[in-house]
Structure 1
Amino acid sequence: MNNKSWIDISQPLTNDMAHFPGDTPFNYSLTYTKEQTGSVNIGQITASVHTGTHVDAPFHYDSDGKTIDQLGLDLYVGPAKVVDVSNTERITTDTLKEFDLDGITRVLLRTSLPNNAKVFPEKTPYLDPGIAAYLYEQGVRLIGVDMPSVDAPDSKDLATHHALYEYNIFILENLMLDHVKSGNYELIALPLAIEGSDGSPVRAAIRPIDERRTDHE
């Protein structure tokens, strides 16, 4: 593989993909066919804004928080570090201290959860809310995970969401990282500018950074 190639780390949007229990499933269909219009096929989609690989806006868990269209694009474009924490089911500050995150703005966690876009997991690795303060001290502004949520799927208090929010760290969820090596990358994961929305699907991609370059911004 060309070391400058972009690597897709987003879930494909398919009509049989998994979705959060009780949420709106993804569906794509043709509204009109070329035969009907005489010129073009025209499709439509229905979906939750938390479909597949997506960004949470603070409004998702705070009614007074910013909506997706109010967030800066620089959060979702720039250097990122992929960190492999798949050796544990409990990701804590001690887990992350094994890695050099000093000055890292965006960290993507490859957990033990297998990447399967068609199956919603019954259980996910535990992400300790205490990591928020540590990540903030290192300079992290965005955390990405290869899980549907930074909290357990049945969580009501969303302790990790709120801890990250307290430290102004933004959230990217449902990445596909099983085929990705640990290391430094450029990240693009731009959300759609959906006015007033609590989140947005993204097309996330990374490209290896030449190790001779710095991973600091």
Structure 2
Amino acid sequence: MLDYRAEFDAEVAFDGGGELRARGFRLNIPHADVTDTEITALLVAMLAPQRVERAEVSGVRIFAEPHSPAGDPQAGRVRFVELSHVITAGMVTYPGLPAPEITPHLTRDASRGVYAPGTEFAIDRITMVGNTGTYLDSPFHRYADGADLAGLPLERLAGLPAVVVRAVGGERGVTAEMLAHVAVAGHAVLLHTGGDRHWGTPAYGVDAPYLTSDGAKLLADRGAALVGIDAVNIDDVSPAAAGERPVHSLLLAAGIPVVEHLTNLRELPPLGACFTAAPPRVAGFGTFPVRAFATVPADDLPGSAGDLSRCAG
């Protein structure tokens, strides 16, 4: 069994100005008979959300590499990327919501009188709202008849092929226009805004990045599996929004879980990562912290579109 890659030169002109020229660029491709048109489409998808006005490839060379057998210790090697904030006592996640309290239920000293000599345990208690740290919203968070945490299928939470949308340093709102050329069906769409750089400071909740309602409608209409953001909220929470939450309303009505307060999205490639953010199965509960993470092939080349078949989803 073989894996295939294309090596080529490329010239790209972006809508609104700017050009990119590359020599010896490489992309993973699905089969040996891929056409120049298909390679160009893969390149344009990798560059999203940048809007491409013109793209040309030349000098295409297709080469095959042996697919690592199942018994090979090198096969399936992945790099894990942590995407969650650490939860600590007293930390503020969303301004105005209570911070978590972490206290002992049974201390190690006290446990020595409960267990056999030489055996001790610590049993601790945490009191917190569901909106603590990096957390996932289920439809029940917004709608009384929506699926709660226990009702979410694992297919929506684990091993999802991820597409990372770069929206750092621009407008606050991630719009439908910025997402128009992104392939989102069945993907975890992760909005990399850079908002996490203010985590733990008063600036985190001020003029924060967000997804616009037209962007949310596009993602829902095109079948996104999950949507995440590295900011204080996926909706605009500024005073100008007057408490409206159109993005939560649209996505959760479509059964699309939302993950907020992600971090470290800069470490992920635009395509090729597999994303997981699974909360515990709590009935009658809408939101809970997750250990969000991604896996990236250890041999992933810079600029590679990745191999989405590696994801469980």
TM-score by shorter chain over 0.5:
yes
SS in 2 for 1:63: coil
Question: Greater shift after overlay, 197-206 or 9-18?
Answer: 9-18
How many Å separate the matches in 1 of 2:306 and 2:96? 47
Assess, with a 3 A threshold, how the Cα gap between structure 1 residues 62 and 108 changes in structure 2: closer, same or farther.
same
Whether 1:213 and 2:294 are equivalent positions in the alignment is no
How many Å separate the matches in 1 of 2:184 and 2:277? 22
* Length-normalised TM-score, structure 2: 0.62
Report which of the two has the higher share of helix.
2
SS in 1 for 2:195: coil
How many Å separate the matches in 1 of 2:84 and 2:145? 29
Greater RCO (Cα-Cα under 8 Å, separation 6 or more): 1
User: How many residues end up aligned between the 2 structures?
Assistant: 215
- Please report how far the alpha carbon of residue 214 of structure 1 lies from its aligned counterpart in structure 2 after TM superposition: 3.4
Out of 20, 29, 34, the residue aligned to residue 103 of structure 2 is 29
Assess, with a 3 A threshold, how the Cα gap between structure 1 residues 157 and 212 changes in structure 2: closer, same or farther.
closer
- Please report how far the alpha carbon of residue 126 of structure 1 lies from its aligned counterpart in structure 2 after TM superposition: 3.5
Counterpart AA for 1:171: V
- Aligned-residue RMSD, C-alpha: 2.4
Q: Any residues of structure 2 matched to 1:45-84 within 5 Å, and which?
A: 45-78=126-159, 79-84=161-166
* Length-normalised TM-score, structure 1: 0.87
> Residue in 2 aligned with 1:149?
233
> Residue in 1 aligned with 2:14?
none
**Identical amino acids, percent of aligned pairs:** 25
Extract unaligned runs of 5+ from structure 2.
1-76, 113-119
Q: Any residues of structure 2 matched to 1:3-152 within 5 Å, and which?
A: 4-38=78-112, 39-78=120-159, 79-88=161-170, 89-97=172-180, 99-119=181-201, 120-152=204-236
* Contact 1:59/1:198, CA 8 A, preserved across alignment: yes
How many Å separate the matches in 2 of 1:161 and 1:71? 16
> Residue in 1 aligned with 2:245?
158
Higher Cα radius of gyration: 2
Assess, with a 3 A threshold, how the Cα gap between structure 1 residues 28 and 102 changes in structure 2: closer, same or farther.
closer
How many Å separate the matches in 2 of 1:133 and 1:117? 28
How many Å separate the matches in 2 of 1:192 and 1:145? 20
Assess, with a 3 A threshold, how the Cα gap between structure 1 residues 16 and 25 changes in structure 2: closer, same or farther.
closer
Extract unaligned runs of 5+ from structure 1.
none
Assess, with a 3 A threshold, how the Cα gap between structure 1 residues 63 and 85 changes in structure 2: closer, same or farther.
same
